Amino acid sequence: MGTVIGQTKRVVVKVGSSLVTNQGAGLDLNALSNWARQIAALSNSGHQVVLVSSGAIAEGMQRLAWNERPTSIHELQAAAAVGQMGLVQAYETCFRKHNIHTAQVLLTHADLADRERYLNARATLSTLLGLGVIPIINENDTVVTDEIKFGDNDTLGALVTNLIDADALIILTDQSGLYTADPRKDSNASFVNEAQAGDSKLELMAGGAGSHIGRGGMITKILAAKRAARSGAHTVIASGHERDVLLRLMTGESIGTLLLAPTMTLAARKQWLADQLQVTGKLMLDDGAVKALRTDGKSLLPIGIKEVIGEFKRGEVLACIGPDGSDIARGLSNYDSNEARRIAGHASQEIELLLGYGGESELIHRDNLVLL
């Protein structure tokens, strides 16, 4: 376990409500300071860390003097709106002590289901990480409905892991990891040190929801690991009460349960592109572009496009067609169809002049392209 996680560069850390709110009794500033200290140390040592933090609704409940978690979606939204203020303010204060800037990012399922918004969120998070800023992510509970809410921050952590191509997802909870059965009910339950994410046996081992404060439980963590593995990320489920758990994990120590992804990141993304997304437009390539893709392993540049067919938005999947009519590749477009037509056949240096604003130099980046 230690070698796998210790070698990761980009990591998503999810902390549950019970780890930041003293089991619901308002925000635990000492706990938040502890997470900020560890994440700051990782950032200063070259790791890129995204923090997915629960606690907004729990903090809102405390501020509103509600003893029980409401069931009404509008009351949940109200609690989130109140609590988010305190949560982000507290994190900002804690990270400022380490001279690190933070950024609040609120997401809904609709943000990640829409390809253009997905790419915008991806670009924003990548930019923040490049600037050394720690993004603090939460579900946008203030505007979610039953149809679009993630349902738990474990799922959100997995989707963010996929979104930014993180190497690992670390889910911190009040449990030490996964057992073959609930150790509180079964004395024969044994600890699972390592397994493969997505193994159906894991879901049978996991129980239902745990805390009355949060929405998750071990089953949501198992499913989150399964989702994260689709883009090649490994997942660790560990206790947030372990001393310096993040620092120890990232220096190679084995803590908690490691759920390994069955495929590497690139392979998983390529498979996703090839099999699951519909083609909304076509790009007719010249021989030079075909060679750049097939032989040289390059991205697709505008200069190699002879014709743009169809109407599409930025982030939608396009078919790349060779001069002989054969399917060469599929990929996610960095431009919409109108923009693509204007820059087709031109050098990347001309994009700003042609469009009136700067953009990506590639029409389809190699990371978002799969050869057929």
For residue 183, the model assigns a pLDDT of 75
For residue 244, the model assigns a pLDDT of 96
Lowest average pLDDT, out of 111-125, 138-152, 158-172, 203-217, goes to 203-217
277-371: what fold?
2.30.130
Higher pLDDT, 269 or 88: 88
Q: With 0.75 as the threshold, say if the pTM is over it.
A: no
Higher pLDDT, 345 or 70: 345
Average pLDDT over residues 345-368: 92
Q: How many CB atoms lie within 10 A of CB 101?
A: 12
Distance between CA atoms of residues 282 and 166, nearest Å: 30
Judged on CB neighbours under 10 Å (0-12, 13-18, 19+), 325 is exposed
For residue 147, the model assigns a pLDDT of 52
> Which amino acid, residue 255?
I
Model confidence pLDDT, tens digit, residues 272-292: 555 434 578 999 999 999 999
Average pLDDT over residues 293-314: 95
Percent of the chain at pLDDT exceeding 90: 51
Mean pLDDT of all residues in the chain?
86
Specify the CATH architecture of the domain 2-265: 3-Layer(aba) Sandwich (3.40)
CB distance 145 to 204 below 8 Å:
no
Check pLDDT > 60 for residue 214: no
Domain ranges of the chain: 2-265, 277-371
What is the band of 115 on the pLDDT scale with cuts at 50, 70, 90? Answer: low
Upper half-sphere CA count for residue 306 (Cβ side, 13 Å): 13
Model confidence pLDDT, tens digit, residues 225-258: 988 887 889 999 999 999 999 999 998 899 999 9
